[in-house]
Amino acid sequence: MPISQLKDVLPLFAANWSDLLGPVLLNDLSPKRLDPGTEVLSALVVGKGKAMSTLYNAFRRRAWDRLENLTQDEARKVLCISRGEFRSLAENDILAPMPWHTKSDRYRVKDVVHAVLRYVFVGRWCAINGIPKEKAFEVLTNKGFEPVCHSTFSKSPELVKALNRLKRETRPSGKKSL
């Protein structure tokens, strides 16, 4: 896929172009081909799975940077949730702002990464996998999964299996999700 098609998923990993282009230039994320006669980001074609893995690993590495934090809007973009849903995360002890930050609510990347590892944010999962949020939410609730708040579910092996099954059933044959 052209690397330019990944621009919509960059916020889901609190990423920027350097998180993808750096590994391409270092040959960790080898381009599949360069199409001549097009702009650079459209010309650079990479494997979707490797690109997503690169973004996810960069996101997890940021968790260990004690100085890096996110604004509420940046954290909301990573999790793909509304302001109301975001407030519910704090009320349910899923994600709380840094206690000593006074100017505005700031969130440690580490805490956001841990939330992503412990919970499934349906909007985020759907944005990454190209599946309508309503469909995923309907499938999960019909299978008896209860959200902990809004469209956030505790991650479990059964829930992950249900989502993977939905992904296989929803994806048109021959097409890969992001």
DSSP 52-84: HHHHHHHHHHHTT-TT-EEEHHHHHHHHT--HH
Query: Considering the entire predicted model, what is its pTM?
Result: 0.72
Task: Name which residue leads in pLDDT, 6 or 125.
Answer: 125
Q: Would you state the pLDDT for residue 93? A: 85
| Among the listed residues 139, 149, 62, 150, the one whose alpha carbon sits nearest the alpha carbon of residue 108 | 62
Kindly report which listed range (8-12, 121-125, 147-151, 163-167) carries the lowest average pLDDT score.
8-12
**Domain regions of the chain by residue span:** 3-62, 69-170
Position 174 pLDDT exceeds 50: no
Helices 122-129 + 72-79 axis angle, to 10:
60
| Among the listed residues 144, 86, 147, the one whose alpha carbon sits nearest the alpha carbon of residue 120 | 147
Position 43 pLDDT exceeds 80: no
Beta strands in the chain (DSSP E): 33-34, 44-45, 69-71, 106-108, 119-121, 152-154
Mean pLDDT of the region 29-56 = 60
